């Protein structure tokens, strides 16, 4: 049982471990080509993107710096509150750095827009976003995403670092969940 009183159960697997690994390699190849000869700073967003960030960094196989931010917009809900709070900011300045922001999922676009504005205010040389999952049906604001792994329907997903009430992050695949009272 979660904190909101609803139980979540896996409904179906959306992307297998093998499909995710292939997509990570594909994204890494594109990113590596785009940043060839440029120093790169990767900024992973905790907690949801930690697995994706680790796998992508290993697949990039190039010199880079890694930093993390943690933000909150969901709490224990399945819908974003629209209020974004930075729980952990960058450890090092990014001025004049080529920055790749890594997120697990973009749905409304509110969190990604907020993060982009926050990072752009620090004067990086460039800023691009890489998201594993894109849920365009839920978009409330336009936000540029240069690298997208998979486009998904408007369903609640878990696994591969993505949670529901801090559960299911450990799954090696991405699955849709059903919430039950």
Which residues are known to be catalytic? 107
Report d(CA 66, CA 38) in Å as an integer. 15
CA 114-32-159 angle, to 5 degrees, is: 55
Residue 141, SS3?
Answer: coil
Q: Could you tell me the two tokens for 91?
A: 């450890």
Contacts of 33 (CB under 8 A, 6+ apart): none
Can you read off the two tokens belonging to residue 28?
């890494």
CA distances for 26 relative to 15, 22, 108, angstroms: 15, 6, 25
Whether 94 contacts 64, CB under 8 Å = no
Place of tokens 């292939």: 22
């Amino acid at each position: 049982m979660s904190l909101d009183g609803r139980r979540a159960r896996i409904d179906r697997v959306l992307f297998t471990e093998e499909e995710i690994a292939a997509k990570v390699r594909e994204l890494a190849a594109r990113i590596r080509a785009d940043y060839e000869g440029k120093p790169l700073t990767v900024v992973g967003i905790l907690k949801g993107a930690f697995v994706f960030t680790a796998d992508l960094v290993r697949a990039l196989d190039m010199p880079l710096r890694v930093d993390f931010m943690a933000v909150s917009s969901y709490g224990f809900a399945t819908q974003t509150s629209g209020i974004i709070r930075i729980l952990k900011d960058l450890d090092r300045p990014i001025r004049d750095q080529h920055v790749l922001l890594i997120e697990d999922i973009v749905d409304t676009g509110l969190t990604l827009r907020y993060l982009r504005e926050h990072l752009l205010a620090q004067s990086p040389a460039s800023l691009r976003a890489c998201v594993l999952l894109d849920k365009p049906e839920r978009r409330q604001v336009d936000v540029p995403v240069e690298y997208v792994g998979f486009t998904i329907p408007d369903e609640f997903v878990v696994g591969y670092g993505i949670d529901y009430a801090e559960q299911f992050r450990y799954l090696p695949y991405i699955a849709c969940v059903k919430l039950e009272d």
